[in-house]
Amino acid sequence: MSSVSTLLEDRGAAFAGYSFAFLDDMAKREIRRAILKGVAIPGHQVPFGSREMPIARGWGTGGLQLTLALVGGSDVIKVIDQGDDASVNAVNLRRLIAKTTGATETLDTAAATLIQTRHRIPEEVMREGQVLILQVPIPEPLRLVERSVAAARSMHAEMDYSRMWLALYEDIVRRGEVSAGAGYPVMVNGRFVMAPSPIPRWDIPKLDNARCLFLFGAGREKRIYVVPPFTKVEPLEFDDYPFDTEHFDGKECALSGATNAYLVESPTEDGGSRWTASDTNYADKVLAGQEVDTQWKR
Amino acid sequence: MTEPLLSVRDIRKQITLHILDGKQVSPLRGVSFDLAPGEFLGIVGPSGAGKSSLIKCLNRTYLADGGTANYRSASGEIVDLLHAPERTMIRLRRTEIHYVSQFLKAPPRIPALDVVASVIVNRGGDPTEARARAAETLSALGIGPELQSSYPSLFSGGEQQRVNVARALVDPPRLLLLDEPTSALDAENRAKVLEIVRRAQANGTAMIGIFHDIEMLQQLADNVIVLEDGLVTQHGPIGSVQIPGYIEAGAAEFV
Amino acid sequence: MEALTESGIRPPDTAAEQPLLRVKGLTKHYQSASGGRIVACEDVTFDVYPGEVLGIVGESGSGKSTVLQCLFQDVMPTSGEAYLSSFLGGTRNLWEADRRERRHLRTHDMSMVYQNPRQGLNLMVTAGGNIAERLLAAEWRKVADIRAKASDYLSRTEVPLDRMDDFPAFFSGGMQQRVQIAKALANNPALVLLDELTTGLDVSVQAGVLDLVRDIQHRLGMTAIVVSHDLGVIRLLADRTLVMKDGHVVEAGLTDQILEDPQHPYTQLLVNCVTH
């Protein structure tokens, strides 16, 4: 496409000579195939040949490869790091994607077509056609109970999750509750136990029966997995110890006054602390008095 | 003439002692007899004549090398005790054939009362009722409540023998095999055993018994077999058989 | 249960009695380092009937433990067939089951008590959790129910309930073995495999563990295979016994017959070693 080379020229000499969206076509094709397989088998980890990226492994290379394999020149992209569009890492990733593709950058959840994220799902409900790409450090939910990758794979194949359940039981016995905070294990489509990436419990219910597509990419571990739209996603829970999200007991965001949001505590100069919404775009919208739909579950 | 309860034909038993360079002994060389329902058949003979071997073959504790022992079971089926499947023997032993050895082989660390009660429980009886009947039987044999709650392994030989008899007669079986069950008992306790065996007889239990004690034999046995060197030398009503002298001499050793 | 006759006595007819487990021609060969063939067990055939305890006796290396390992799917045999009536209606050779069926076999139909509790227990999972594992595999999803059931099994095996949430790593050998037995009872398996369960325990502790197994057998009518080199254990627990030597069954019979009238030279030696 001639428009591509034009765009690359426009974006400056630094990216001349690179492929569109940085990755070569073969790499993109492999990743797209892995995504398609992931869509066909929700929650199943699909291996892929994770490429070297211009950022270090552990900094979102899995998510970035998924984004680059899917992004087109007309996409509108947003990158968030723990809910924040303005962190150094988020900004750099967003610039890299935009500069190598000509895609439009945005901070607005509603406006984005592709959102790459670390550790959060936006508060604002995502709709059909939107894609959320989650960066994943440890894709194997059974890692804690089974060190062998091969053994864990056959446990998934046989749906042998009794040791996962045992770990939850032991947690309840020792701590009175399931202690997993971020990355609470979920059952996808009644078949595969999946690590939802280190999102807070607050975000877990958003995965269930959502309208958008969730993609998960682990660059270091070379795994891709998918929760397609309208897929059943349930946290593992005992009948008498039901799953519960974090509670903020009437606290509100110190900046925006938002109440229906995941809040994080940060120290203040006077030695105290304050609570603010971790989703900065959501906080901005609340502050601006916009109506924001946060009802993921309907 | 009623059908015999047990019809023994030509039982042979040979033992090859491999650890003694294959030395062979033949305790039974062709023994035959019939036992009527409710009959008490005494077996006498010198030591080494094959008396215990005969009883053990009928219980399948020994494997016979030849012959048959057709037993008519409670359900009317004829079972060859020498060749029936092991599972059949296990079931018959639990329900209708009981073997009393000279020495008690009770499982360790179980009170005497439960050792005896387990016979009934294993036949599907109610545990509480089983214990009541066990207590009654043990008391009748002179094993009082204090002993009933202790382990038989701590008992004297005579007390152990009475626990053994109690096991056999707490719920009298159809066929009782007795291998010198009173050898360690004094006259008083032998009388108690005599009394309880008679009750079982009255109840219809058929018995084959080895006794050294001629008095016991005379009071209990309908018929007697004299075994010598693995063969039957005499068989007939107790009054008609010449009891060899060694029987009473043998009894004297124990009294 | 078979029907009782009017006299309250079970009929002796065995035609109606079907074995719970049928093993035919079980053979396991290993390759030696030099490429030769090592026979662990060869052409082992036997049945186990509901409610009975079958003993397998022999010295170490006789192949008796291999038989259990093959049955529990720890080791796959070279050849042979085994059918368990509770497993897929007794129609599937245990050694032709697929992985998922084999797991079901191990968590529902059978259980194994290993000589070394380390093999049968996860020592860094609580005693209750070890039992919970089998219940969780059977899709129990209520913590209160799981704990009630685990308490039940632990009290049956005389493990103090205040140790339920402790790690077996810190238990005595006898207590570990009791937890292993409690775990083996969870889900009421049709068949329990006991491999040298008292070997390595102090004599006084051995007695307690044996009493426990015997008591459970009497009360629950457990069907079991007991493997031991110790004729005392076999005498106490087994109705019928197989004698194994060099991978072969050299003699089989009622346990008291094996002990009092051993036929095979090896069994005669074994029995005499005990008596003297």
Closest CA to A131 of A20, A216, A57, A62: A216
Element (H, E) at A9: helix A2-10
Which amino acid, A53?
M
Give the residue extent of every domain in chain B.
8-52+60-95, 102-203+245-255
Q: Which residues of A touch C125 (CB under 8 A)?
A: 166, 170
Query: At residue A92, does pLDDT exceed 90?
Result: yes
B54 vs B180: CA distance, rounded Å: 13
Closest CA to B89 of C22, C6, C49: C49
DSSP A238: B
B15 touches chain C (CB under 8 A): yes
Reading the block at residue C269, the tokens are 């030696």
- pLDDT given at position C70: 97
Left (φ > 0), alpha (ψ -120 to 50) or beta: where does B67 sit?
Answer: left
Q: Can you state the percent helix, strand and coil of chain C, rounding each to 5?
A: 40, 20, 35
pLDDT digits (tens, 9 = 90+) for C146-192: 999 999 999 888 899 999 999 999 999 989 999 999 999 998 899 99
Element (H, E) at C140: none
Closest-CA distance of chain B to residue C34, Å: 36
Q: Which domain holds residue C162?
A: 21-275
A295 vs A124: CA distance, rounded Å: 8
Among C5, C214, C263, beta carbon nearest to B107: C214
Q: Which residues of C touch A170 (CB under 8 A)?
A: 125-126, 129
Answer whether A170 sits within 8 Å of C125, measured CB to CB.
yes
pLDDT digits (tens, 9 = 90+) for C110-128: 999 999 999 999 999 999 9
Query: At residue A242, does pLDDT exceed 90?
Result: yes
C250 vs C267: CA distance, rounded Å: 8
Annotation: CATH topology of B102-203+245-255? Rossmann fold (3.40.50)
Q: Which residues of C touch B122 (CB under 8 A)?
A: 218
As a whole number, mean pLDDT of residues A170-178 equals: 92
Closest CA to A257 of A231, A234, A236, A286: A286
A243 vs A113: CA distance, rounded Å: 31
- Asked whether residue C206 is assigned to any structural domain, the reply reads yes
Q: What is the percentage of chain C residues whose pLDDT exceeds 70?
A: 93
Q: What is the ipTM of this complex?
A: 0.90
DSSP A55: S
**Exposed/middle/buried for residue A166 (C-beta within 10 Å: 0-12, 13-18, 19+):** buried
C116 vs C137: CA distance, rounded Å: 23
Of the options 3.40.50.11310, 2.40.110.10, 3.40.640.10, 3.20.20.450, the CATH number for the domain spanning A2-140+188-235: 3.40.50.11310
* Mean confidence (pLDDT) of chain A: 93
CB-based contact A116:A68 (threshold 8 Å) = no
Among B18, B90, B122, beta carbon nearest to C268: B18
Query: At residue A232, does pLDDT exceed 60?
Result: yes
Among B77, B122, B124, beta carbon nearest to C13: B77
Residues of chain B with pLDDT under 50: 249-255
- Asked whether residue C95 is assigned to any structural domain, the reply reads yes
Which amino acid, B154?
L
pLDDT digits (tens, 9 = 90+) for A268-283: 999 999 999 999 999 9
A190 vs A184: CA distance, rounded Å: 16
Q: Which residues of C touch A159 (CB under 8 A)?
A: 100
As a whole number, mean pLDDT of residues A89-101 equals: 94
Find the angle CA(C52)-CA(C55)-CA(C57) to the nearest 5 degrees: 175
Cα dihedral C237→C243→C245→C250 (10° resolution): -170
As a whole number, mean pLDDT of residues A119-134 equals: 97
Measured between CA atoms, the residue of chain C closest to residue B64 is: C261
Query: At residue C14, does pLDDT exceed 70?
Result: no
CB-based contact B120:B171 (threshold 8 Å) = yes
User: What distances in angstroms separate CA A159 from CA A152, A187, C10, C133, one per listed residue?
Assistant: 10, 11, 45, 15
Closest CA to B73 of B5, B153, B145: B5
Which of B57, B91, B105, B120 is the best residue to mutate to test the C interface, defined by the most C CB atoms within 10 Å of its own CB? Answer: B91
- Asked whether residue C16 is assigned to any structural domain, the reply reads no
CA dihedral for A16, A18, A21, A22, sign (positive or negative): negative
Chains B and A touch (3+ CB pairs under 8 A): no
CA dihedral for C91, C95, C96, C101, sign (positive or negative): positive
* Mean confidence (pLDDT) of chain C: 90
Answer whether C10 sits within 8 Å of B94, measured CB to CB.
yes
Confidence of residue C8 (pLDDT cuts 50, 70, 90): very low
As a whole number, mean pLDDT of residues C19-48 equals: 95
Query: At residue C13, does pLDDT exceed 70?
Result: no
Measured between CA atoms, the residue of chain C closest to residue B85 is: C14
Measured between CA atoms, the residue of chain C closest to residue A177 is: C143
DSSP characters over A74-96: T-EEEEEETTBTTSHHHHHHHHH
A227 vs A187: CA distance, rounded Å: 11
Closest CA to B144 of B173, B119, B166: B166
- pLDDT given at position B247: 59
- pLDDT given at position B175: 97
Q: Which residues of B touch C217 (CB under 8 A)?
A: none
Q: Which residues of C touch A154 (CB under 8 A)?
A: 99
Q: Which residues of A touch C132 (CB under 8 A)?
A: 166, 169
Answer whether B18 sits within 8 Å of C269, measured CB to CB.
yes
Chains C and B touch (3+ CB pairs under 8 A): yes
A2 vs C172: CA distance, rounded Å: 77
Phi first, then psi: give them for residue B207, nearest 5 degrees. Answer: -140, 145
Which of C2, C9, C235, C241 is the best residue to mutate to test the B interface, defined by the most B CB atoms within 10 Å of its own CB? Answer: C9
pLDDT digits (tens, 9 = 90+) for C82-113: 999 999 999 999 999 998 899 999 999 999 99
- pLDDT given at position A16: 66
User: What distances in angstroms separate CA C30 from CA C69, C81, C119, one per listed residue?
Assistant: 14, 18, 22
CATH of the domain at C174: 3.40.50.300
pTM for the full model?
0.86
Answer whether A170 sits within 8 Å of C126, measured CB to CB.
yes
A205 vs C56: CA distance, rounded Å: 55
B175 vs B172: CA distance, rounded Å: 8
pLDDT digits (tens, 9 = 90+) for C54-88: 999 999 889 999 999 999 999 999 999 999 999 99
Query: Considering its fold, how many domains does chain C have in total?
Result: 1
- Per the listing, tokens 């009393």 go with B100
Closest-CA distance of chain A to residue C61, Å: 30
Residues 6+ apart with CB under 8 A from A122: A80, A83, A109, A115, A132, A279, A281, A282
